[in-house]
């Protein structure tokens, strides 16, 4: 969280075997409580670091001290930014009170490594997008930690079809699809980070942003939501699907077999609903109502359909000598076509050689796709044209927008003509890759998902039972079942602890679920549930993990969110005995559970 943690957290880390990157500040400016350069950094820094280090230095879990996170560099317009002397000063404050541990900081500007700003540090942390590459070249013998990774996004229990076309292809429902294909614009999905850590073995490891959802920073719906979408578990501690993806990779010795999505899709009978399986196994077989849908093996990626554009004849309005038109058809993101000037009125035309059915057009631009406005037409004879795509230029997203665009079309044609009508941000008309396909295609960005999860992309939905049987080294290790739920009929209460101490601080997290008559969890249930407590305990809080919810956390009721909610029960100091918890909702049989409170 970029601030000193509660001592209780460090006590738990000591006890449970977690190692801690212990960070003093998030920035050195107003975020840290300094305004207009006051108090002076030297005075302020030593005071805070003294208190911080002396408080925590006897915790064996602390392995690194960090003097700050994402602090901009000093410049004429930013006198409070970091410089070599300031970094050395802050490090020396740490060593004054604990000379036994290394000192680092969280960094985010790659070019900083080209200057002597970081020389004094024993190691560095770097946040996202392999920004440590320059530092690695300049300081090959100094350790590197991936101090923020992923910033993947999802809402527990929320799924949408079709799948995201690119990582910032967010739902218009103000929730983020739990197929785990979305990330923040500046970040990546887990699979991309897994592959990066395997490749860059010199990196000590990754700190995922974040373990839990939290209040604030609700990217990508900053104006609508109250809590974040980043967590591996939701705001009240219920695991998201992503929890099982991380477990399957980080704990290969622990059996994990997890199916997604839920199997209640009444509006998609006979239509496609992709199915993913997260497992520590290396392969799995999927069954729908007893019929095998085939095996998938990690590392086996599906073949892409033919790209009609790869062999097309191409003409353009203009081209640079070193960036010719044919470069956009070679399938290489490292080459490109670029117009000979920044004039807007540029065009390209492809002759595919014969009339073919086209379902999908893909474009990868030199810069972010938002900067380009254009239209695309198709023709069978080169004379009569039908407009099939129209895209306006935009300023959104504000940062780190995708370079790729995917257009679903349904046309037969031999000729394709693209005409630019707006260029923003100083862009010139420039395309790295152009594709025309007979069916929908997936971005190359998602290729690595096939190495870490098992995917059945074309499952024709029918109600019933979905079962996955997972295997490792040819041996079956487990299976998981997902069933279509009927109408919600009852409430189930599942406490994580059935015995509490009468300390006034001991808690039991009680999972609330709606079930049908057969005991299947109802994944779309949203009933309002009321709680009654009888005995020496009280409600400490309620939640359901919905980032959009404005319901109070202190209440005796909560709506279910995708079939689940959480009740947190707290013991009363000095009072012992049995606690009866009752949950009731309209047209649902009550849920009941007993908790014992003792001295």
Residue-wise pLDDT tens digits, 238-288: 999 999 999 999 999 999 999 999 999 999 999 999 999 999 999 999 999
CA 430 from centre of chain: 30
Judge whether residue 170 has pLDDT over 80: yes
The rounded mean pLDDT for the chain is 97
Share of the chain above pLDDT 70, in %: 100
Q: What is the rounded average pLDDT of the residues 125-147?
A: 97
Inter-residue long-range contacts of 105-112, CB under 8 Å, 24+ positions, other chains counted? 105/66, 105/67, 105/68, 105/69, 105/71, 106/2, 106/23, 106/66, 106/68, 106/69, 106/70, 106/147, 106/148, 107/70, 107/131, 107/132, 107/135, 107/147, 108/70, 109/72, 109/73, 110/134, 110/135, 112/73
CA-to-CA distance for 434 and 405, rounded, in angstroms?
10
**pLDDT given at position 401:** 85
Q: What is the DSSP string of 156-193?
A: TT---SSPPSSTT---TTSS--TTS-EE-TTS--HHHH
Helix/strand/coil for 24: coil
Phi and psi torsions of 155, nearest 5°? -110, 125
Residue 188 C-alpha from the chain's centroid:
7
pLDDT at 1 over 80: no
Give dist(CA 157, CA 565) in Å, integer. Answer: 12
Residue range 540-583, pLDDT digits in tens: 999 999 999 999 999 999 999 999 999 999 999 999 999 999 99
pLDDT digits 0-9 by tens, 398-456: 878 899 999 999 999 999 999 999 999 999 999 999 999 999 999 999 999 999 999 99
Residue 547 near residue 238, CB atoms below 8 Å: no
- What pLDDT was estimated at residue 523? 98
The number of beta carbons lying within 10 Å of the beta carbon of residue 266 is: 9
List domains and CATH numbers for the chain.
Answer: 7-248 (3.20.20.80), 308-440 (2.60.120.260), 490-598 (2.60.40.10)
Cis peptide before 376 (omega within 30 of 0): no
CA–CA–CA angle 178, 243, 247 (5° rounding): 135
**Rounded percentage of the chain residues whose pLDDT exceeds 90:** 96
Q: What is the pLDDT of residues 31-55, one digit of tens each?
A: 888 998 999 999 999 999 999 999 9
Q: How many CA atoms lie within 13 A of 446 on its CB side?
A: 22
The band of 368, judged by pLDDT with boundaries at 50, 70 and 90, is very high
For residue 239, the SS3 value is strand
CA atoms within 13 A on the CB side of 193: 28
For the CA atoms of 160, 282, 184, 27, the dihedral, rounded to the nearest 10 degrees, stands at: 150
Q: What is the mean pLDDT of residues 355-372?
A: 97
Residue 476, classed as helix, strand or coil, is strand
Q: Tell me, what's the pLDDT at 487?
A: 98
Q: Within 10 Å of residue 390's Cβ, how many Cβ atoms?
A: 12
Q: What is the C-alpha to C-alpha distance for residues 258 and 280, in angstroms, rounded to an integer?
A: 10
Taking the complete model, does pTM exceed 0.85, yes or no?
yes
pLDDT tens by residue, 490-548:
999 999 999 999 999 999 999 999 999 999 999 999 999 999 999 999 999 999 999 99
Predicted local confidence at residue 436, as pLDDT: 98
What Cα–Cα distance (Å) separates residue 270 from each residue in 267, 273, 459, 460?
9, 9, 9, 5
Q: Is the pLDDT of residue 397 over 90?
A: no
Q: Nearest CA to 510 among 544, 546, 547?
A: 544
């Amino acid at each position: 969280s970029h601030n000193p943690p509660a001592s209780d957290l460090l006590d738990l880390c000591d006890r449970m075997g977690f190692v801690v990157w212990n960070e003093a500040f998030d920035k050195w400016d107003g975020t840290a409580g300094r305004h207009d350069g006051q108090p002076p950094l030297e005075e302020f820094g030593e005071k805070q670091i003294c208190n911080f280090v002396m408080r925590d230095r006897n915790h064996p879990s602390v392995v690194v001290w960090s003097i700050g996170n994402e602090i901009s560099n000093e410049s004429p317009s930013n006198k409070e930014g970091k410089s070599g002397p300031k970094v050395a000063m802050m490090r020396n404050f740490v060593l004054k009170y604990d000379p036994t541990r290394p000192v680092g900081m969280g960094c985010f500007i790659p070019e900083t490594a080209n200057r002597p700003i970081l020389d004094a540090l024993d190691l560095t942390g770097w946040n996202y997008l392999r920004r440590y590459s320059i530092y690695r070249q300049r300081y090959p013998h100094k350790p590197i930690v991936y101090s923020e990774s992923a910033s993947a996004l999802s809402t527990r229990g929320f799924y949408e079809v079709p799948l995201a076309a690119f990582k910032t292809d967010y739902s218009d429902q103000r929730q983020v699809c739990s197929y785990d294909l979305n990330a923040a614009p500046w970040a990546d999905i887990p699979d991309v980070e897994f592959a990066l850590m395997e490749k860059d073995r010199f990196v000590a490891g990754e700190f995922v942003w974040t373990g839990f959802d939290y209040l604030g920073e609700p990217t990508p719906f900053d104006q609508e939501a109250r809590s974040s979408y980043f967590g591996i578990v939701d705001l009240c501690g219920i695991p998201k699907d992503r929890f099982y993806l991380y477990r399957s990779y980080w704990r290969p010795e622990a059996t994990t077999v997890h199916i997604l999505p839920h199997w209640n899709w009444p509006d998609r009978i006979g239509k496609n609903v992709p199915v993913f399986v997260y497992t520590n196994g290396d392969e799995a077989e999927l069954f729908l109502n007893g019929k095998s849908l085939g095996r998938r093996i990690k590392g086996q990626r599906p073949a892409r359909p033919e790209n009609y554009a790869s062999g097309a004849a191409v003409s353009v309005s203009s081209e640079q000598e070193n960036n010719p038109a044919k470069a956009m058809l070679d399938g290489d993101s490292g080459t490109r076509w670029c117009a000979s000037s920044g004039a807007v009125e540029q065009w390209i035309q492809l002759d595919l050689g014969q009339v073919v059915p086209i379902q999908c057009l893909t474009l990868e631009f030199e810069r972010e796709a938002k900067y380009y406005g254009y239209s695309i037409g198709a023709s069978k004879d080169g004379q009569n044209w039908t407009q099939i795509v129209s895209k306006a230029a935009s300023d959104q997203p504000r940062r780190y927008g995708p370079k790729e665009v995917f257009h679903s079309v349904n046309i037969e044609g031999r000729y394709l003509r693209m005409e630019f009508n707006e260029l923003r941000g100083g862009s010139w008309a420039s395309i790295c890759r152009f594709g025309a396909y007979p069916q929908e295609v997936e971005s190359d960005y998602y290729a690595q998902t096939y190495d870490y999860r098992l995917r059945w992309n074309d499952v024709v939905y029918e109600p019933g039972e979905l079962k996955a049987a997972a295997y490792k080294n040819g041996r079956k290790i487990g299976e998981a079942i997902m069933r279509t739920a009927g109408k919600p009929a009852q409430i189930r209460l599942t406490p994580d602890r059935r015995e509490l101490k009468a300390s006034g601080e001991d808690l039991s997290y009680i999972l609330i679920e709606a079930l049908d008559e057969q005991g299947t969890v109802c994944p779309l249930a949203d009933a309002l549930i009321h709680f009654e407590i009888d005995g020496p305990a009280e409600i400490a809080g309620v939640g359901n993990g919905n980032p959009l919810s404005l319901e109070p956390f202190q209440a005796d009721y909560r709506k279910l969110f995708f079939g689940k909610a959480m009740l947190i029960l707290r013991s009363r100091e000095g009072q012992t005995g049995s606690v009866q918890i009752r949950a009731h909702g309209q047209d649902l049989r009550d849920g009941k559970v007993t908790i014992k409170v003792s001295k």
